[in-house]
Homo-oligomer: A and B are copies of this chain.
Amino acid sequence: MGNCCERAGNFFGPQNNTYIRVSLPAVCFVWQIAMVILFGVFIRYDEESDEKGWHEFKRSHNITSNIENDFYFRYPSFQDVHVMIFVGFGFLMTFLKRYSFGGVGFNFLIAAFGLQWALLMQGWFHSLDPVTGKITIGIESLINADFCCAGSLIAYGALLGKVSPVQLMIVTLFGVTLFAVEEYIILDLLHCRDAGGSMVIHTFGGYYGLAISWVLYRPNLNLSKRLNGSVYHSDLFAMIGALFLWMFWPSFNSAITNHGAGQHRTVINTYLSLAACVLTTFAISSMGQKKGKLDMVHIQNASLAAGVAMGTSAEFMITPYGSIIVGFCCGIISTFGYLYVTPFLEKRLKLQDTCGIHNLHAVPGMLGGFVGAIVAAAATEEVYGKEGLVETFGLSGKFENRSMSTQGAYQAAGTCVAIAFGLVGGVCVGFILRFPLWGDPADDFCFDDEAYWELPEDEETIPPVLEYNNHMINKHQDTHESQFSLEES
């Protein structure tokens, strides 16, 4: 059926111009060639991945064993983060009954593009060598590049099913750029700590996506309502994504924290918080439905909110029970969001948020930023030790004399910067996306893979094995006829 049911819009009007045969390849090639040139000019191996450099590094730092290469501290977490970006985010977005290809496929495309651009943008802002003019990269740069993509992938969650891949490339190009700037302001200028990115990744990404979606409001989106929902097996695919996100979130938050106790503690805090979040999510999900039945949307999404909210504070000494309290609250807030806030936003604020990123990223991220501010302000030398305090909050150099309450205030300010960047950036990008040349689908053609993917024939039309067995032929005749007629249509 898929192939023959071409929609009239393709032929008779501009309202449904999803033809991307020129624009998508053009964008891909132009950008990928630009990447080749820019990488050629700017990007080099750092001293721990360069063959000559590492030998010199070992000599100069008196290191005898290769195991002290940063690679061995970070690589397992890197691979987990990588899985979260591609399988986690990708499969979480397969929940729609007929947009699973777009969910996982476009996630793949924009993450692969975004991480290259992120290496350059983050490099220019954070590790450009003023003498050589080069950016040197190592395993930590790869993790940061994956993180940087996450901001744009979160934004994709609000836009899922309503935009073209070309628009998504633009969302990612600007998203990564804005990310690098706000990250520079928050981490370098304000000197906040945000290892798991409650502020720089989730708050920014969430509001960025919401603002774009708000500008792109489609009053007639209910024309596609029949496809804006899940089926049994698409919910199971989404559960794969949700679980990989949930399981690997301790790696996400700890991937770039300090070696040793820093990474160790971050994992413990995130693990506990996520576990607590699952219980309150199940509780509210059941309470929120008249017959007490659970809703897969909540389980897939709200149970992750604790990971988001621990992004800043997980590396601090928030204590195990503090982590559980954060998880406890996040499960409640996020599930309430799915039950009441998303419908409210759509009805009153004209904000269509396909995946509910408001409840999974924007609000928990903001909350995480403020929790981080409070925990930072409450930090004492008694708990952290003198050198622990310096190391954990990076209070050396020109920040040596910053008091902990000042640090807390800066953390809070950082959260506000992230919100502002998300909202203002998102509105601007949203207006760019409204130009009528990016190939987005018409209102009655949203949430449909038919628009951009060559779809295989439908499952129901697999014809049965040809029957030679005589006594079967008559019995099945009717069934066959109807199935073949379906296939022909």
Q: Tell whether A69 is near chain B: CB-to-CB under 8 Å.
A: yes
Chain B nearest CB: distance from A16 CB in Å?
A: 9
Contacts of A486 in B (CB 8 A): 479
Contacts of A470 in B (CB 8 A): 8
Contacts of A293 in B (CB 8 A): 452-454
Chain B nearest CB: distance from A307 CB in Å?
A: 13
Chain B nearest CB: distance from A472 CB in Å?
A: 7
Contacts of A457 in B (CB 8 A): 229, 231
Give the CA-CA distance A296 to B104 in the complex, in Å: 11
Chain B nearest CB: distance from A286 CB in Å?
A: 5
Q: Is the CB of B24 within 8 A of A286?
A: yes
Chain B nearest CB: distance from A196 CB in Å?
A: 16
Mask of A265-295 contacts with B, CB within 8 angstroms, 1/0: 1011001101110111011101101111111
Chain B nearest CB: distance from A41 CB in Å?
A: 8
Q: Is the CB of A465 within 8 A of B292?
A: no
Q: Tell whether A125 is near chain B: CB-to-CB under 8 Å.
A: no
Chain B nearest CB: distance from A269 CB in Å?
A: 9
Q: Is the CB of A317 within 8 A of B231?
A: no
Chain B nearest CB: distance from A337 CB in Å?
A: 17
The residue in chain B whose Cβ has the minimal distance to the Cβ of A242 is B108
Q: Is the CB of A320 within 8 A of B44?
A: yes
Contacts of A456 in B (CB 8 A): 97, 229-232, 234-235, 296
The residue in chain B whose Cβ has the minimal distance to the Cβ of A1 is B464
Residues of A430-466 at the interface with B, using a CB-CB cut-off of 8 Å, are 444-445, 448, 450, 452-460, 462-466
Size bracket, chain A contacts: 35 or more
Q: Tell whether A259 is near chain B: CB-to-CB under 8 Å.
A: yes
Q: Tell whether A31 is near chain B: CB-to-CB under 8 Å.
A: yes
Contacts of A236 in B (CB 8 A): 94, 100-101, 104, 237
Residues of A46-66 at the interface with B, using a CB-CB cut-off of 8 Å, are 48-56, 58, 65-66
Q: Of B43, B54, B317, which one neighbours A260 at CB under 8 angstroms?
A: B54
Q: Tell whether A170 is near chain B: CB-to-CB under 8 Å.
A: no
Contacts of A287 in B (CB 8 A): 21, 25
Give the CA-CA distance A246 to B6 in the complex, in Å: 33
Q: Is the CB of B280 within 8 A of A317?
A: no
Asked whether A265 and B50 contact (CB < 8 A) given A271-B142, A276-B116, A291-B19, the answer is yes
Contacts of A142 in B (CB 8 A): 267-268, 271
Q: Tell whether A138 is near chain B: CB-to-CB under 8 Å.
A: yes
Contacts of A104 in B (CB 8 A): 236, 239, 243
Chain B nearest CB: distance from A488 CB in Å?
A: 9
Q: Is the CB of B138 within 8 A of A264?
A: yes
Contacts of A184 in B (CB 8 A): none
User: Given A20-B286, A108-B303, A165-B282, 18 other A-B contacts at CB below 8 A?
Assistant: A1-B464, A21-B291, A31-B279, A39-B320, A45-B265, A50-B317, A51-B392, A54-B261, A66-B259, A75-B77, A76-B76, A79-B80, A91-B240, A101-B232, A104-B236, A108-B246, A240-B240, A450-B465
The 9 closest A-B pairs by CB, nearest first: A21-B292, A66-B260, A54-B261, A52-B385, A8-B468, A112-B278, A51-B388, A28-B283, A25-B283
